[in-house]
Every structure is written in structure tokens, then in C-alpha cells.
Amino acid sequence: MFSTSLVLSLLPISALAHFRTVYPPARGFDETTIVNFPCGGFNTANTNRTPVPLTGAFPIQLSMEHTSVKGAVYMSLGNDPQSAYSIQLRNTFQETGPDNFCIGGLTIPSNLNITAGTNATIQVVTNGDPNGGLYQCSDVTFTDTALGSSDYSAHCTNSTGVSASFIANSPPNGTASTTGASGSASAVSTATSKAWAPQKTVAPFVLGAMGLIGGLAVL
């Protein structure tokens, strides 16, 4: 479960590097409050929720303003959750490259026994701020209708140079970078290839302070 102690004071980040959740649409974006947990300062759930399938995969589309960052995806069930984001939908990842970034292949765990019509909030967390995490929330309603391939592709694109990998047993509180990208990484271009497979990274990562979500690895 999330802790309100969300300080990453040891992160050697030289500048703010925000992101936006494009799909499912976020509650809102304010660069002055995006550092506030939960939901970047937007504490009221949207009444116009995005349908999310209980069967099959769905994507999360982000717009990134940095070139290297760690992040993770969490979820809380209910009409208006405040802090209980204890369901981890995507393990900690390292993302490289600015602009469009798709977190693909997300599925709802069957052991949660969620039924159609249940409301929830999905929260994306990154470490792109020198003093703490960045938070964006999207309000959704679960449906039995799978997302068609055309709808999936319409909400899942990657800019040239964008790449990502999972970081086993690592919280998203390492170093975020706002320097220029090399453009050497290839973008993921097809819906079928956007479902990542977890992998450990070879190189160690600077973890900095462990304040973010109590280390985030505890979930």
C-alpha cells in the first residue's frame, strides 16, 4: 500500500521532467501539483470513466518530457480511492526516449475477481522530479468487452528512439535524465509486440532514497 512519505531527496536530477497520461485519459495535469500524491493533486474522480476490458490486454499511452526515467503502474478499486494503490499492474520499468511511450499488454489479474461495472483508478508513477515522484491518475470502469485491435493500436504508439525494459525487484526511485536522447533505440511499432516480457537488467541502477511509496517494492 502507498505511504504518504514520498520523498526522493537523493535523486541527482538536474531539472523537472514531467509526463502526461494520454490514455486512459488522466483526471488532469498541472505541472505545479503533479508531485503531490495521490494523482498529482487531482483528488476528485472523473464521472466520465474510460472502459477497460477484463479480458484481453489494454495499453496505457504516455507523453514523456524526459529521455530516461523509472516508473510503475498501480491500481486501486472503488469509486473514489484516496491512497490504497496496492495493486501493481506493471512492474518497475526503465524507459528511454521522449514523446510518445506506450505501456502495452496490461491485463487485469483474474484472482482479483473483478466483475463488469466495477470502478477503479489507475495511477502511473515516475521518478522524474528531484524532490519526489510524479503522479497521474485515470478513472476507469471494467467491461467484459475486449479492446479491438484497431482501438488498441490507436492508443498505443511509440516515438522513434523510445525503448523500455523491466527492472526486477526495483522501485522507481532511481535517476531520471532530461538530457538529449541518442535516438539509437528502436520504437515498438506493432500492437502484438507491445506486451513486454519481464527481464532483469544487467547494469546496476542508482536507487537513491527509498522514501517513495516505502520503496515501492513492498507492494
Comparison of pLDDT for 188 and 86, the residue scoring more: 86
Comparison of pLDDT for 189 and 63, the residue scoring more: 63
At residue 40, what are phi and psi to the nearest 5 degrees? Answer: 60, 30
Cβ atoms 93, 64 nearer than 8 A: no
- Which element (helix H / strand E) includes 149? helix 149-154
Contacts of 57 (CB under 8 A, 6+ apart): 104, 105, 106, 107, 147, 152, 195
- The pLDDT of residue 17 is 60
Burial class (CB in 10 A: 0-12, 13-18, 19+), 154: middle
Q: What are the Cα distances from residue 181, in Å, to 10, 72, 149?
A: 23, 21, 30
Kindly report, residue by residue over 1-58, the tens digit of the pLDDT: 443 233 232 233 334 568 999 999 999 999 889 999 999 999 999 999 999 999 999 9
CATH number of 19-209: 2.60.40.10
Cβ atoms 159, 67 nearer than 8 A: no
Q: What are the Cα distances from residue 69, in Å, to 10, 45, 47, 78, 93?
A: 15, 27, 31, 29, 8
Query: Average pLDDT in the 152-176 region?
Result: 73
Domains of the chain by residue range: 19-209
Burial class (CB in 10 A: 0-12, 13-18, 19+), 151: middle
**What's the one-letter identity of residue 218?**
V
Distance CA 66, CA 61 (A): 15
Query: Average pLDDT in the 148-162 region?
Result: 93
- The pLDDT of residue 3 is 38
Kindly report, residue by residue over 66-104, the tens digit of the pLDDT: 778 889 999 999 998 887 898 999 989 888 888 899 999
Total count of residues recorded for the chain: 219
The answer, as to whether pTM is greater than 0.85, is no
Comparison of pLDDT for 128 and 29, the residue scoring more: 29
Q: Which residues of 30-58 are buried (b: 16+ CB within 10 A; e: fewer)?
A: eeeebbbbbbbbbeebbeebbebbbeebb
Q: Strands 132-143 and 50-53, how do they pair? A: parallel
